[in-house]
A and B are shown apart, each in its own frame.
Chain A
């Protein structure tokens, strides 16, 4: 039944987009309003809330000590996890992470990791033995589409807000000192997502548009305006021309958002 309703809606939304209009009155390349608040959870080392229209994400960062990976003994560890909290949408269910939340976490992870946003070399305490582990937990609190861009922004905002304890090493023992230091950040990746509906591309799809999109494409753009991560999603396709066209749109849009956020 749902699919019948969706097909009627799909036609309606596609017809609107053909006329360069959208269900919520935006232009094809227009984002919803972005609101960022930092430091909203005092218990976390870093935190942020991002609202993208009615989509709402909270990210908390915890920093703990742990072991490095054997192939990167001198680098700190980044772990990203996403929870689609059941209160955020009638379609979310309690339970272990499903493929949607795993994909979301891995897209955000890739943007941060591949842009080398965190200076993980500075998170090493004892090579091969002790490093700082940065846990980024994404909490979706209201789902109105484009969780990827909102989560990526919230994760970055939370990392920029992260303070960790000062420490010193005495005879192999790590001692916590008073005071805090800022988590070392080198890059500020911004992820831009488009949806393909009919033959047109629109940026920042809302939930209604996501329900009828054929395919989705996300690109993370770093401070040098280079591309550092891409993910295509959904069971549709893009032509090579659309991919190249979108890579240019994403670059422009990231530049604009970067300026607005002053990152």
Chain B
């Protein structure tokens, strides 16, 4: 284990990785990365490396889960054994089961579920490397993969966390800030609908701090939202170039 730093923010207000309090880590988003999947996306968010594949709408398995008036959304958040410092058992942990549930519930409001009765949509999220904020980066990528699969959606879902490191409200916590910070508030948003679809918190915040953390996270979401749209467009720009050759 590495030594715990004494302070997460120095006197000049700069964080351990050189960021200002309201600065995002570097983010790379790519769409259509898995040839076999109906839709897919890859995200690098700080040191997070996450791959999402979407299959469907397809036949429901097991059949009794089918709904007569809408599709069934399934979601599996899974961490690779090598994604963290100490090897993680590949069996799903209680944390992964909870995260699969909250991620599914954060994506579902964006999908026109009633368009595909008696079918199901599978979202598979694999964390190849974790660096704090995996659930947020997963949601951002999963929403892109759903769009890439051509599933009609009300809006993209984008997610980002804010929190408290030492005594400052900061945006987009990395691993050390997540573990040693005083609070973590992951938020998922459909920006055009002003709708929060995921909200969690742990730590300790006054009501004023909570309000500013939520606002900061929303601001971060909106910045990632424009990158999301660019990533979707980029796929089609590339296709066009290939066709012209």
Contact = CB atoms under 8 A, between A and B. Distances in A.
Given A227-B201, A240-B196, A248-B207, A234 B101 contact: no
A233 interface: yes
B190 to A, nearest CB: 7
A237 interface: yes
A239 interface: yes
B94 A106 contact: yes
Contacts of A70: 1
B199 A236 contact: no
Contacts of B97: 99, 102
B109 A238 contact: no
A102 B98 contact: yes
A67 interface: no
Interface residues of B, number: 37
Interface stretch (B27-35, B57-65, B210-218): B210-218
B204 A232 contact: no
B108 A235 contact: yes
Contact of A3 (B69, B201, B202, B207): B69
A228 B204 contact: yes
A168 interface: no
Interface in A192-235: 217, 219, 222, 225-235
Question: Is chain A's binding surface mostly helix, strand, loop or mixed?
Answer: mixed
A166 to B, nearest CB: 32
Contacts, number: 97
Contact of A236 (B69, B109, B206): B109
A114 interface: yes
A230 B201 contact: yes
Nearest to A116: B204
A227 B207 contact: yes
Interface in B133-181: none
A115 interface: yes
B147 to A, nearest CB: 18
A251 interface: yes
A226 B201 CA distance: 12
Given A239-B195, A240-B194, A232 B202 contact: no
Contact of A237 (B67, B195, B206): B195
Contacts of B98: 99, 102-103, 106
B207 A243 contact: no
Contacts of A229: 201-202
A120 B136 CA distance: 30
B200 A231 contact: yes
Nearest to A238: B196
23 contacts: A99-B100, A99-B101, A102-B94, A225-B207, A226-B204, A226-B205, A227-B206, A228-B202, A230-B185, A231-B200, A232-B199, A233-B105, A234-B105, A235-B108, A235-B109, A237-B109, A237-B195, A238-B196, A239-B196, A240-B214, A240-B215, A243-B196, A244-B211
Q: Which 3 A-B pairs have the closest CB atoms?
A: A237-B195, A230-B201, A235-B108
Given A227-B210, A229-B202, 15 more contacts: A3-B69, A99-B97, A102-B97, A227-B207, A228-B201, A228-B203, A230-B185, A230-B200, A232-B199, A235-B104, A235-B108, A237-B190, A237-B195, A237-B196, A247-B207
Interface of A: 3, 70-71, 99, 102-103, 105-106, 110, 113-115, 217, 219, 222, 225-240, 243-244, 247-248, 251
